[in-house]
Amino acid sequence: MQRLLDFLYEHSLDKRIYSVLPANGAELQLSWSAEEPQHWEVRASTSAPAAQVQRAELVAHLTELGADLVLFERELGSLVAAHIVVADQMLGAAYEAIGPEGVSTVLRGQQQFVRELRQALADLLPPPRLRLVR
């Protein structure tokens, strides 16, 4: 499930994500905003204040509250699937607009840019110095 949360953090086209999950006979309201992408708001009831939960700690927090994690994972998977469909549609439209060679040129250029950026960062940053700790 963390991989789905991480994917949405990195690639979500949505500005907000909202979910309601059953938890120990009650409901939890979850919301995420692109404006504060590292946190999820978790509210146990409409009158309770929302807790700000770090993305990396969300699954553990929901587990503590007894949330239906299977349902939440299914919802996240559906969101990721919708993003994949949109990406496929955009890629198809790009093939129609600029042709296969144009799309390939753009993708190769992007891949080259990422390689060069990684190399530039490696050149600028010193290699990590590891020590054996006993």
pLDDT for 130 equals 74
Domain borders along the chain are 2-87
Determine the average pLDDT of the residues in 67-88. Answer: 95
Digit-coded pLDDT (tens) for 94-125: 999 999 999 999 999 999 999 999 899 888 88
Residues 6+ away with beta carbon under 8 Å from 125: none
Q: What is the dihedral of CA 71, 28, 15, 60, to 10 degrees?
A: -70
Can you point out the beta strands (E) in the chain? Answer: 16-23, 26-33, 39-43, 51-54
- Give the span between the Cα atoms of 23 and 69, in whole angstroms: 9
Average pLDDT, the chain: 91
